[in-house]
């Protein structure tokens, strides 16, 4: 997820901007750059990490105005030319941009008399601004006129040679102003400038902000408006909702983008290989006897999903351990045991305790996490980042999907190095991963149907989620989401367990949500569906084959191989969200729960 930092003030801009870029690294990126300016603009940018950028930066400059950016590639690969900031051909206008310009191809055609040097959608913006300046508009009006021609979502920060101001405009992508004694800041989120101030202003969609030596001016619908300056509450206001009523729903809808970030640059589908930048020697993996996945809550259920993949595709015994119960048994060989901690925050106390136990026993350790610089990354031998971007809602959504996808990449790496996974089978798995973002979007596009279903069943006595194999993990996670935010009783379990007790609770007021997709043994689950139907329970089924069974509600799932049950989970997330919303629950802050559980 791209990051923006801007600064105009009394201090040297270079050090402020580069520090801001470092603060934004957790968001995930594959290139970075800065533009510094007074009477002329100087741009430095490079593919790779911020460290690579700093190699080409001067030690100091006299500039007190600058902008910076960390980019995740969308239009064009991560190259120096595609990195932000982008400029017009005269180098007079420099722009950093988050979001997608959907009509950039048409705009490039309209600007065909100008020279483009990148493959990005962003580069049309400085050319548009330059054209408006050439037409005689003032800098503020030129930025406004250029933005009016854009379609899509964006947050844009602009610096212009010889103009001692910064200009910013947003539409559907967060942009925050920071106010400090030493100057004024812009950021895609507050982490960019939190070292300097906790006084912030949140721009609304369509706002045009002008920062100069006198501070901030905001124009809304062409009129200068007064905007609030708020004292930052980091826990509550870490990011904007982007027009959604709740962070949770926003993050459910961010899953296609999060999954693209998770797999970006990691897939080699032609050869059936992945690149994860971790040190797991082939000799070590060939001698491996067991993988232990340790986790809590949603991360635990992601691990349950992955364990099936490790055993079936990588041919290695895999256990899933609740982190709070973890012990390293003396009958295990630590030299032949890989312990993988799965944690969104990297700060979960129980998981940290478990990984320390494994390390003391002499086992090799690896973390799968979302958070750069978190405690767990400093304590394990290797780390794989899921790169889902910040997640504010307490109930994990996009991080579950990205954890499963990341663990699936690890499965392919281990399976290939162990010689247990053929290139053809690996390619099939990677194709499924590559298709995940689009498949999830198809589910999100059917949200109205899920809402109708939630309206029908929201007042039910209880909810049961069933599935087999990969569907079991999704059933457990689906029930967890519903109980977390709706406070209703929801239970998930293997479908075959229905007749071993839970069937006694089934009535016409207990909907059963069934995973009936490939990878979840639908043919074996259908008899369980008939069992509950015989007790008048309504059945909501996520199915690969819409003719599979006569269900009360059918949610179609795209053909995606081993990832089909994971796609099903998006239906369950939306169902949980809408049930909770219909009940008026505190969705982003469910009672008694915290985002990062840092106590044991």
Q: What is the pLDDT of residue 230?
A: 81
Omega into 85 within 30° of 0, i.e. cis? Answer: yes
Residue 240, domain member (yes or no):
no
Sign for the pseudo-dihedral over CA of 9, 13, 17, 20: negative
Which tokens in the block code for residue 168?
């910013």
What pLDDT, on the 0 to 100 scale, is given for residue 327? 92
Query: Side by side, which strands form the sheet with 176-180?
Result: 41-47, 31-37, 65-71, 3-9, 183-187, 176-180, 199-202, 230-231
Which ranges in 36-79 belong to alpha helices (H)? Answer: 50-54
Are residues 30 and 164 both part of a single domain?
Answer: yes
Q: Which residues, in sequence order, are CB contacts of 36 under 8 Å at separation 6+? A: 13, 14, 17, 42, 43, 44, 61, 63, 65, 66
> Is residue 452 located within the same domain as residue 430?
no
Where residue 233 falls among pLDDT bands split at 50, 70, 90?
Answer: very low
Helix, strand, coil percentages for the chain (3-state, nearest 5): 40, 25, 40
Structure tokens at 489: 């009783």
Assess whether pLDDT exceeds 90 at residue 481: yes
- Specify the pLDDT at position 598: 32
> What CATH number is associated with residue 152?
3.60.20.10
Based on the fold, state whether residues 333 and 362 are members of the same structural domain: yes
Domain boundary among 162, 197, 231: 231
| CA-derived radius of gyration, the chain | 25
546 pLDDT above the threshold of 70: no
Domain final residue pick, 413, 434, 455: 434
Q: What pLDDT is recorded for position 597? A: 43
- In whole angstroms, what is the distance from residue 415 CA to residue 285 CA? 9
Look at the alpha carbons of 381, 386, 390, 392 in this order and tell me if their dihedral is positive or negative.
negative
Q: Is residue 550 in some structural domain?
A: yes
Q: Evaluate whether residue 55 is within a structural domain.
A: yes
Question: Has residue 238 been placed in a domain?
Answer: no
- Same structural domain for residues 364 and 448? no
What is the pLDDT, as a whole number, of residue 303?
96
Distance CA 295, CA 341 (A): 6
Look up tokens 């520090």; give the residue: 19
The arithmetic mean of pLDDT across residues 522-543, rounded, is: 91
pLDDT score of 251 more than 80: yes
167 shares its domain with 187: yes
pLDDT tens per residue across span 490-531: 999 998 888 898 888 888 999 999 999 999 999 999 889 999
pLDDT, average across residues 325-337: 90
User: What pLDDT score was predicted for residue 477?
Assistant: 96
Question: Residue 434: exposed, middle, or buried by beta-carbon count in 10 A (0-12, 13-18, 19+)?
Answer: middle
Helix (H, G, I), strand (E, B) or coil at 331: coil
Judge residue 592's burial from the number of C-beta atoms within 10 Å of its C-beta, 0-12 exposed, 13-18 middle, 19 or more buried: exposed
**Mean pLDDT to the nearest integer, 540-565:** 86
Q: At what angle do helices 139-148 and 124-134 cross, to 10 degrees?
A: 130
Residue 535 falls within a domain, yes or no? Answer: yes
- Higher pLDDT pick, 598 / 552: 552
Q: Would you say residue 51 lies in a domain?
A: yes
Cα angle at 270 between 266 and 275, to 5 degrees?
A: 20
The C-alpha atoms of residue 123 and residue 104 are separated, in whole angstroms, by 9
In a domain, 7, yes or no: yes
Query: Mean pLDDT across the chain, nearest whole number?
Result: 89
Work out the average pLDDT over 371-382: 78
Q: How far apart are the first and last CA of the chain?
A: 31
Secondary structure of residue 28 in the 3-state scheme: coil
pTM listed for this prediction: 0.63
Residue 53 burial class via C-beta count within 10 angstroms: exposed 0-12, middle 13-18, buried 19 and up: buried
Residue 235 pLDDT exceeds 60: no
Both 151 and 295 in one domain: the answer is no
Q: What is the pLDDT of residue 348?
A: 77
Residues 163 and 40 in one domain: yes
**In angstroms, rounded to a whole number, what is the distance separating the alpha carbons of residues 48 and 435?**
26
Q: 237, exposed or middle or buried, with CB in 10 Å at 0-12, 13-18, 19+?
A: middle
How many other CB atoms are found less than 10 A from the CB of residue 15? 15
**452-461: average pLDDT:** 96
What's the rounded Cα separation, in Å, for the pair 178 and 184? 6
Taking the CB of residue 422, how many other CB atoms lie within 10 A of it?
Answer: 13
Number of domains in the chain: 3
Per-residue confidence (pLDDT) for residue 146, from 0 to 100: 95
Say if residue 96 is in the same domain as residue 64. yes
Residue 21 and residue 3 in contact, taking contact as beta carbons nearer than 8 Å: yes
Instruction: Please report where in the chains the tokens 């800098």 appear, as a residue.
Output: 139
The C-alpha atoms of residue 264 and residue 257 are separated, in whole angstroms, by 10
| Same domain for 569 and 460 | yes
Give the count of beta carbons closer than 10 Å to the beta carbon of residue 68: 35
Does residue 350 sit in the same domain as residue 494? no
**How would you classify the pairing of strands 208-212 and 267-268?**
unpaired
Instruction: Tell me which residues are annotated as active site.
Output: 2, 595
107 and 79 share a domain?
yes
The CATH number of whichever domain residue 473 belongs to comes to: 3.40.50.10490
Q: Identify which has the larger pLDDT, 202 or 5.
A: 5
The tokens for 519 are: 């990878």
Taken in order 539, 543, 546, 548, the sign of the CA dihedral is negative
Task: Identify which has the larger pLDDT, 582 or 60.
Answer: 582
* pLDDT for residue 596: 42
Cα 105 from chain centre: 27
The boundaries of the domain holding residue 316 are: 246-434
pLDDT for the residue numbered 372 = 65
Distance CA 316, CA 336 (A): 11
Domain annotation covers residue 241: no
Co-location of 223 and 253 in the same domain: no
Give the domain-ending residue among 196, 231, 266.
231
| H or E, element range at 179 | strand 176-180
Average pLDDT of the residues in 42-53: 90
User: pLDDT-derived band of residue 166, with 50, 70 and 90 as boundaries?
Assistant: very high
pLDDT at 435 over 60: yes
């Amino acid at each position: 997820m791209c990051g923006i930092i801007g600064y105009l003030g009394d201090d040297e801009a270079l050090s402020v901007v580069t520090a801001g870029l470092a603060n934004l690294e957790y968001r995930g990126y594959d290139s970075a750059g800065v533009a510094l300016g007074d009477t002329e603009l100087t741009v430095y940018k490079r593919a790779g990490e911020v460290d690579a950028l700093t190699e080409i930066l001067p030690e100091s400059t006299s500039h007190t105005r600058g902008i910076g950016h960390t980019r995740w590639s969308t239009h064009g690969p991560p190259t120096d030319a595609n990195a932000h900031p982008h400029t017009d051909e005269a180098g007079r206008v420099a722009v950093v941009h988050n979001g997608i310009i959907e009509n950039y191809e048409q705009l490039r055609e309209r600007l065909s008399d100008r020279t483009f040097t990148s493959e990005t959608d962003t580069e049309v913006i400085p050319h548009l601004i330059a054209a408006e300046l050439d037409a005689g508009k003032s800098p503020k009006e030129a930025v406004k006129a250029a933005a009016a021609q854009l379609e899509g979502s964006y947050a844009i920060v602009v610096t212009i040679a010889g103009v001692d101001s910064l200009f910013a405009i947003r539409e559907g992508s967060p942009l925050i102003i920071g106010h400090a004694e030493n100057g004024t800041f812009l950021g895609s989120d507050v982490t960019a400038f939190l070292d300097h101030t906790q006084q912030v202003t949140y721009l609304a969609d369509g706002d045009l902000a002008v920062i100069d030596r006198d501070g901030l001016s905001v124009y809304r619908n062409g009129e200068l408006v007064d905007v609030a300056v708020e004292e930052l509450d980091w826990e509550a206001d870490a990011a904007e909702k982007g027009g959604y009523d709740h962070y949770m729903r926003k993050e459910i809808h961010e899953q296609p983008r999060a999954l693209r970030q998770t797999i970006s640059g990691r897939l080699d589908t032609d050869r059936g290989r992945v690149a994860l930048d971790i040190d797991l020697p082939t000799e070590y993996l060939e001698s491996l006897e067991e993988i232990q996945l340790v986790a809590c809550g949603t991360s635990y259920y992601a691990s349950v999903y992955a364990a099936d993949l490790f055993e079936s595709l990588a041919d290695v015994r895999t256990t899933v351990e609740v982190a709070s119960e973890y012990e390293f048994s003396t009958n295990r060989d630590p030299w032949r045991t890989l312990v993988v901690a799965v944690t969104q925050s990297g700060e979960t106390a129980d998981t940290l305790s478990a990984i320390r136990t494994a390390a003391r026993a002499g086992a090799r350790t690896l973390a799968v996490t979302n958070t750069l610089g978190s405690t767990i990354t400093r304590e394990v031998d290797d780390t794989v980042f899921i790169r889902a971007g910040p997640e504010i809602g307490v109930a994990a959504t996009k991080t579950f999907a990205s954890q499963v996808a990341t663990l699936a990449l690890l499965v392919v790496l281990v399976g290939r190095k162990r010689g247990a996974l053929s290139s053809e089978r690996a390619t099939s798995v990677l194709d499924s991963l590559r298709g995940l973002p689009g498949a999830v979007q198809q589910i999100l596009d059917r949200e109205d149907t899920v809402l109708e279903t939630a309206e029908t069943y929201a007042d039910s006595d209880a909810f049961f989620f069933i599935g087999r194999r990969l569907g079991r993990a999704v059933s457990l996670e689906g029930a967890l989401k519903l109980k977390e935010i709706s406070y209703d009783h929801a239970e998930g379990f293997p479908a075959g367990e229905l007749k071993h007790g839970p069937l006694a609770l089934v009535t016409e007021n207990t909907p059963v949500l069934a995973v009936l997709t490939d990878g979840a043994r639908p043919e074996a689950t259908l008899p369980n569906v008939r069992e509950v139907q015989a007790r008048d329970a309504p059945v909501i089924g996520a199915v690969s084959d819409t003719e599979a069974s006569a269900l009360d509600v059918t949610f179609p799932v795209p053909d995606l191989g081993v990832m089909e049950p994971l796609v099903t989970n998006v239906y369950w997330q939306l169902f949980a969200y809408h049930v909770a919303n219909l009940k008026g629950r505190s969705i982003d802050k469910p009672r008694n729960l915290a985002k990062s559980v840092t106590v044991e």
